[in-house]
Amino acid sequence: MARVGVLLLNLGGPERIEDVGPFLYNLFSDPEIIRLPTPALQKPLAWLISTLRSGKSKEAYRSIGGGSPLRRITEQQARELQSRLRQEGVDATSYVAMRYWHPFTESAVGDIKADGVEEVVVLPLYPHFSISTSGSSFRELQRLRHADPAFRRLPIRCIRSWYDHPGYINAMAGLIAREIRNCEAPASAHIFFSAHGVPKSYVEEAGDPYQKEIEACAALVMERLAQLLGHPNPSTLAYQSRVGPVEWLKPYTEDALRELGEQGVQELVVVPISFVSEHIETLEEIDIEYREIATEAGVSHFRRVPALDTDPTFIQGLADLVQEAMAGPEVNLDMAAQLPKKVKLYPQDKWAWGWNNSSEVWNGRLAMVGFSAFLLELLTGHGPLHALGLL
């Protein structure tokens, strides 16, 4: 049996407060996050934005203990998956590749080559495909593969998305059912799915399948949950974490929470549907910010379903996904990285600022104005950044 490398893709996150600025810099240095017509401006603008955003971001990370647990949890998931695969007769070694923080994708590729792996299965820890998550990670891996003849010779199979896989659906439904059984009125508890949002233009202009996959996934989870509980529950799907002035997928989580409060919903079971591990969006945004909004709106019982982390049913589902990919039709890296529609990534014909590939015109104009002001301040030595001590 071939030696198999299982490469887990994830976003990454700052592990210490002092990592926040560099992490944001890496994020905004990505031309798929902020697209500029002139590559030379990429890093200066990334520095400016990361500097301006780091204060608020540091406060958020301090509120959850000083850093993101994402790396620790992802590496634990990798160990559990490796152990499960070996128990089932697969000579597998798991590797973690983070997009914007350690361990970076380059490091994982180096380990794969050093270990003499004979084939690779790429498994993004994003159940639902989006050009801003799985797509970006696949394309980074594709870039490294094109630049490395030794890595290019390795056979690679990719899992593009797995939002409807039974292992994932069963694991999600199981965790939700456990939380509902602890409710005061289990049959009437309102299930609130909160998914990470993306700009609406991704779906309408770039053909991102993310929204369809999220909606289909929520429906499958609700169907399985009704089987486990013996009754259906009311539910809502909303989208969180939007940034910038452009329209994102709706309804927004904060708006939906207020509306449910106005409707008299008392018991809310919040499900982080697009996250498979605890991190800043679950521990700070949901547990602190959205809990406060719901409470102010009149919701008296706010329960949050934990992220999957190393739930045994979930880990078994990941192992099944890997073995199915090895036995099934090949999905190579070029196929996995392909965008739903042709989108010009970089360089861009006009300024654009977004979480990934779709041109966000107004955000881009704001970025251009901000960068111009930054250059002017550097030349004159006066301005708000000097007043704040940032320059």
> Would the CA dihedral through 59, 65, 70, 75 be positive or negative?
positive
Classify residue 139 as left (phi > 0), alpha (psi -120 to 50) or beta: alpha
Q: Name the nearest CA neighbour of 367 among 52, 133, 55, 101.
A: 52
* Residue 231 in marked binding region: no
- Could you count the other beta carbons within 10 Å of the beta carbon of residue 344? 10
**Structure-block tokens of residue 6:** 């299982």
**Distance in angstroms (rounded) separating the CA atoms of residues 30 and 292:** 33
Strand order in the sheet with 190-196: 235-240, 190-196, 267-272, 301-304
**Half-sphere exposure for 222 (CA within 13 Å, toward CB):** 18
**Distance in angstroms (rounded) separating the CA atoms of residues 80 and 75:** 9
Classify residue 197 by its DSSP letter: -
Location of structure tokens 């009149």? 298
Residues of 201-216 as b/e, b for ≥16 C-beta within 10 angstroms?
A: bbbeebebbbbebbee
* Residue 196 in marked binding region: yes
Q: Name the nearest CA neighbour of 148 among 110, 104, 196, 187.
A: 110
Query: For residue 351, which phi and psi values (nearest 5 degrees)?
Result: -65, 140
As annotated, the binding site for Fe(2+) includes 196, 281
